[in-house]
Chain A
């Protein structure tokens, strides 16, 4: 790799591509198995992701292997590579991706699929698995989208479904350098979490995969305290989206919101002990020099020993100057938690729906009383800016539910006036996204809303909120439409995605790059309704051969309950028999909420 001053001075933030960060590896033993972790988005996004840091450290802790990193480059850098006849290279040793034994791609969101092809293309690696012989790296896909990677299955050699910590160690231990791919795939095919797409055939007519007698069980780590967690995370040299230390305090969520994929695929809840979190926090702060530590999970205030944990962390001399942040707070259980974020001026919450009826349909399990009560406390603690997230296009939604969003904002304004005795309004920002039905949720069968329907609701809400001086932002319809198609897609979509990429689609998650016309062209021969319409509950689904632990019957029963506006209790208040006990991942006894 020879890039000069003349080359790099033209590039926006060249540091993105050069590596050299503290805690990144510097020894590259050619005899070891060469891995590269690839994140199909910019450095600043990828380096904010904890999973990549855990697996990077984990693989580098093994005697047999080492692991480097690569991110999707900005267009200017990609053009420079092409101009110089170079291929995309790793950050650490600046080795072209083509020369690695394994490339690990993580798929955190569907809109990153074209970037995956972009990275392969920039590496001169054939896109389709069948076109890559043994001289090319083995390409693995993982991350939350792995529960249905059918749309890009033809481009991947292996898909890892579930928790990556143990399975990745097994994959490294079973691989011998120079081994034919076929032989290796035979060796690993029966491990939990391993899905080798080329071993399965699709039935073009019926929206399903045939020859699947046994399901692929997701990989599951049962105890987080015994599972590898990062201790020396890489410290980026440039500012990234989340530039701070992070400890995962628990995995999974007990709430059971019916639209939320993470709430189902990460089951069961597994908490890390207070002692372990404290020990990791100290190590991470000492090894990075960060002044901020994030205690993260899907719903941080649900951690059963949150107050003990905070007290213990605050007593640590090493952490006296460390700012603790608690993301993902819920409106009903963040009791006093905001007081730990003394420098933050605004609070963000997600009621998701404007009326109690619709919140019951989606099983959000928060009441208006919860919302107003919590905000009253926040206002008394001098907060005067709040951001509220809602979804439009949820199943059963009517215009009344949309009016409910504005009504709720009015009530919040009244609570503010009462709580602060100030004769002004709090700054409320409402953001709406469009509901995207995701696999492995009770709403996986739902229809994606029509454009006319969403347009009407946005128009109405916009005028209602303007009338009460609430700021309103909303997501683009077309992005959510493509997201729906990709999320519930099957293998037929591989041609569409490849065509979209060749049309110039990259960074589809970025509004400034997303080009719907190019996608429309790529989809011109596809019956879109097959992916966006309501799916019959009796129909086979493209992801039916994957077993995430929650049974299909349970998902269907939850869907039926939603139509009766019946809620399901939090797992901590009693087991609802979702299937995880039978799967072998849950004891059915979870700490009660405090």
Chain B
């Protein structure tokens, strides 16, 4: 089994999770990485993804694992990245024996909302003040007056869709250039730990 961290950026920002899965499957075939198939009438490739990122959001923190006999992690990264279209590159690969449960691991996600113009400090307060968002925002701050950084609930216990925050930014008349998903976190003893370090320690 191989555990993989990859990006979803460039044109793939605007591709659905299902489309990305097909592109990854084709990439594995071109890279001659044999992957196991499910049994049954309609066999499909065995690859499993972290919870999908919404359409329109670029991400540096996508994870998947694949069932394969392939063990050379160094070579995997090289030949995969040689065969993948720009925007879905693999950043980390690790050989694993136990299947990770992505859904159990994730409590929060950090996003950056980049606007085309500088925004008013009041916007921050408006977002914080939404009753719908209570207890779902872990932290929120601005950077350079046009980037809103926020860490929000993501997962099975609580969830806040980043598009809800985007809606408010739009309501206040700002245009959003891009939304970037920076990291996924697990809450451990009141601290947030990047799941990358838990998975790839």
Contact = CB atoms under 8 A, between A and B. Distances in A.
B164 to A, nearest CB: 13
Chain A residues touching B, majority SS: loop
Interface string A1-27: 000111011000011001111100010
Given A287-B30, A289-B28, A290-B26, A4 B176 contact: yes
Nearest to B88: A237
Given A5-B166, A9-B55, A237-B19, A14 B26 contact: no
Given A9-B56, A22-B26, A238-B19, A14 B85 contact: no
Given A20-B10, A20-B86, A289-B30, 19 more contacts: A5-B166, A6-B175, A6-B176, A6-B177, A8-B14, A9-B56, A21-B85, A22-B27, A22-B30, A235-B26, A237-B11, A237-B12, A237-B19, A237-B85, A238-B16, A239-B19, A239-B22, A289-B26, A290-B26
Contacts of B11: 15, 18-20, 237
Contacts of A6: 170, 175-177
Contacts of B19: 15, 237-239
A276 interface: no
Contact of A5 (B16, B28, B84, B176): B176
Interface of A: 4-6, 8-9, 14-15, 18-22, 26, 235, 237-239, 286-291, 343
Contacts of B159: none
Nearest to A7: B175
Give the interface residue-count category, chain B. Answer: 20 to 34
B87 A22 contact: no
Nearest to B87: A20
A5 B178 contact: yes
B25 interface: yes
A496 B176 CA distance: 43
A291 B29 CA distance: 9
Interface string B1-39: 000000000111011100100110111111000000000
Given A9-B55, A235-B26, A288-B30, A18 B14 contact: yes
A343 to B, nearest CB: 8
Contacts of B71: none
B56 A288 contact: no
A4 B179 CA distance: 10
Contacts of A237: 11-12, 15, 19, 23, 85
Nearest to A235: B26
A23 to B, nearest CB: 8
Contact of A22 (B14, B15, B16, B23): B23
Interface centre among B12, B28, B30 (most CB of A within 10 A): B30
12 contacts: A4-B116, A4-B175, A4-B178, A9-B56, A18-B14, A20-B12, A20-B86, A22-B30, A22-B84, A288-B26, A289-B26, A290-B26
Contact of A289 (B25, B56, B87): B25
Contacts of A238: 15-16, 19
A554 B158 CA distance: 76
B175 A15 contact: no
B166 to A, nearest CB: 7
Contacts of A18: 11, 14
Nearest to B114: A5
A51 B28 CA distance: 27
Contacts of A288: 26, 30
A192 B139 CA distance: 70
Contacts of A289: 25-30, 83
Contacts of B30: 22, 286-289
* The 10 nearest A-B residue pairs measured at CB: A289-B26, A20-B11, A289-B29, A14-B14, A22-B85, A18-B11, A5-B176, A289-B30, A6-B175, A9-B56
A9 B42 CA distance: 34
Interface string B85-119: 11100000000000000000000000000001000
A20 B85 contact: yes
A69 to B, nearest CB: 14
Contacts of B16: 238
Contacts of B83: 22, 289
Contacts of A4: 116, 175-178
Contacts of B28: 289
A408 to B, nearest CB: 33
Nearest to B45: A291
